[in-house]
Chains A and B, each alone.
Chain A
């Protein structure tokens, strides 16, 4: 198996592709285990291993994110890079492996990018303002099951950045929309909703994410299957908030 991998020493250096050959790739290996075995070999050979972010290895922490053959997290539907299995590839395949490409996600090293822009967007209002100790009984406000389910689906966003990587404009609309939609499902989330949506959208623009042109690439590549209908919700929330200004 041939691997064409993006190598870049640090954020200041110029990167380039390098090609590696790898034998004995077992079909039930995960994609990252394949990487582990390549790296073990490189270290033993005295070469520099490929840096990549990873942690839980079960598709929930959002650390991993590799552009594989032109698609974020590879070909499988609703799958993170760490969940991808080598049985999806053939022995004579050449796999092209790149980091996320987006102005707002600068490369740190090899396949590692800086996604702190996502944290900054959440810091700009992606929360419900309640201090510990100030809450009432959890059952005091009934929340319709439908709303709880929508909140669950949207809060299953793992912040991996695949939506941005998939988008030709490197837009973060799906990420922001998922959070806006999540928090819009609860009565206690309504109070600060106008302020929230304005601040988060402004922060997103400020950080250099592009605009949404409805290509739906984000939805197609989201490993958690977050729906683009959240973007419609975001737009409604945004317009309502702006009209109140």
Chain B
């Protein structure tokens, strides 16, 4: 158990971060120049960390698989970013934001981390605004806010349905400024293939140059993973197609514990599956639930068009089941409620696997112009994909894999169990418990990068000021590179008949069916067998065309799917171990009489952190007990 020391500072909750900062050591500006830091990923976490570390004077190297850092998947976040500004005077505060996140996460997150995320949220908004991020404003020129799921205040800052794009462009511009100044070197079109650990410390990475296929070595005094989540394991998800879990997985195999891997958020409002060729599900922002009402017909299989169904024959099931929060219940609750209605036979659309999200009342009450201003681009996107205008007919939506609350285990300093290896943003596990509230991902990821990691990493680097540049010709680099090359050669040599995509599709179905929105022991055990069989088949029958020494997108996919096949098993182990339901993790065996998630605080009030023990071997569970000093554990009710 000694592996897990969360290093949570002593003292009252509201003073922990302040006290901790006062004790963190510093590195003087002259020494910062001599220290190299690698950042992998350029979303809001990676860009913010890299630019800030560059501003501080460290020597930063940044890597991304895209052709430009501006394209990282943070770009696709739609609805907004939370902060405890209380601009609306609706009695919001850092404490209330903290409390909403703890409750929203179903009491499975660390109090101290969540409080700190709420605490730095205001600085994040100030910084983005200064960078030129055009948050929505009212006619007086001040910033507007809106409400999001799981809360009763309006604390979400937004830029129409494009908040991620607008924030990332801000973060990317700050990163570009540091590249211009020479403090940051950018390496696009590189994929991290392995982590190099020397004398127990993270000292570098092995990457594949995706254009030339060359395997490169890069060293540093510390490594920061900002590589996002692994939701694409479901094949169909709201994520970018190339998003993947490989960097985190390779770090895990090198000794970093992986926490709560089965905590995956299934987002309630995605455009439903239309056909068999589909490779991606497009999200419709949660912000739409501010003005849209979710319903299904009261009659099973009602053949009428939605607009022909009279008011009293519609079941606004969220408003019915959760009168206090109505359409703005948290994502996990909304997703399960949609599934429940569809499973009971009330679903709409050709497959019966969707529900209506209706703007009729909002358009009547607030006018079409208001809807256009707030959601125009989302409505356009919906119409392009489905051919239907949500101004005329209700949207059809269904849940889809979206965000992974689980990730690399980190302590209060955001350091993993490998000294010198940090994980920030979605790549870590720390702030969202078993369910993330809307608009708190941009908040956490930016807070990590701008205002937390730059302080905590200095404390580690203070011991490294006498360490010269890390050479890349060490046996550890040799060994890591050799392993990477051998694995690529193995993948190329299989020469079977099936594509990486077809394996990915099958993997996604196993995960969705048995480790998706609902889980049970029987299904999870079955999934373990199915995953073993699929992995076997993958390594016998995969087909990768062309060569490894050129741009080869099939090889990229094969590498990622190979890792997903292993990560999938860890998710299943984790889901099997946790016999309670909490947040997005819903075990059928553990529910209340009304079908809500039933926690078991006595036995499962812990973070499950898993240790890798070898290929094909069962992982070892380490428990970090969660102590709730400030929040009283209670049933999470939105009724």
Contacts and interface: CB of A to CB of B under 8 A. Distances in A.
A56 B168 CA distance: 14
Interface in B62-91: 66-73, 75-76, 85, 87
B169 A139 contact: no
B55 A51 contact: no
B179 A109 contact: no
A51 B552 CA distance: 8
Contacts of B380: 78
A115 B176 contact: no
Interface string A104-119: 0000110010111011
B543 interface: yes
A122 B137 CA distance: 26
B523 interface: no
B126 A136 contact: yes
A25 to B, nearest CB: 9
A231 to B, nearest CB: 19
Contact of A155 (B52, B169, B381, B498): B169
Q: By DSSP majority rule, is chain A's interface helix, strand, loop, or mixed? A: loop
B160 interface: yes
Interface in B189-247: 211, 240-243
A119 B65 CA distance: 15
B634 interface: no
Contacts of A10: 550-551
B3 to A, nearest CB: 32
Nearest to B164: A60
A124 interface: yes
B188 interface: yes
B544 to A, nearest CB: 8
Nearest to B83: A138
A155 B134 contact: yes
Contact of A57 (B51, B139, B279): B279
B130 A130 contact: yes
A108 B173 CA distance: 25
B211 A61 contact: no
Given A61-B73, A115-B67, A43 B543 contact: yes
Interface in B134-176: 134-143, 159-160, 162, 164-166, 169, 172-174, 176
A83 B87 CA distance: 37
Contacts of A83: 381, 384-385
B71 A55 contact: yes
Interface stretch (A141-149, A164-172, A232-240): A141-149
B176 A127 contact: yes
Contacts of B127: 130, 132-133, 135
B131 A127 contact: yes
A51 B551 contact: yes
Contacts of A40: 499, 501-502
A122 B71 CA distance: 14
Interface of B: 48, 51-52, 55, 66-73, 75-76, 85, 87, 123, 125-143, 159-160, 162, 164-166, 169, 172-174, 176-177, 179-180, 186, 188, 211, 240-243, 274-275, 277-280, 282-283, 380-381, 384-385, 387, 450-451, 454, 497-499, 501-502, 543-546, 550-551, 553-554
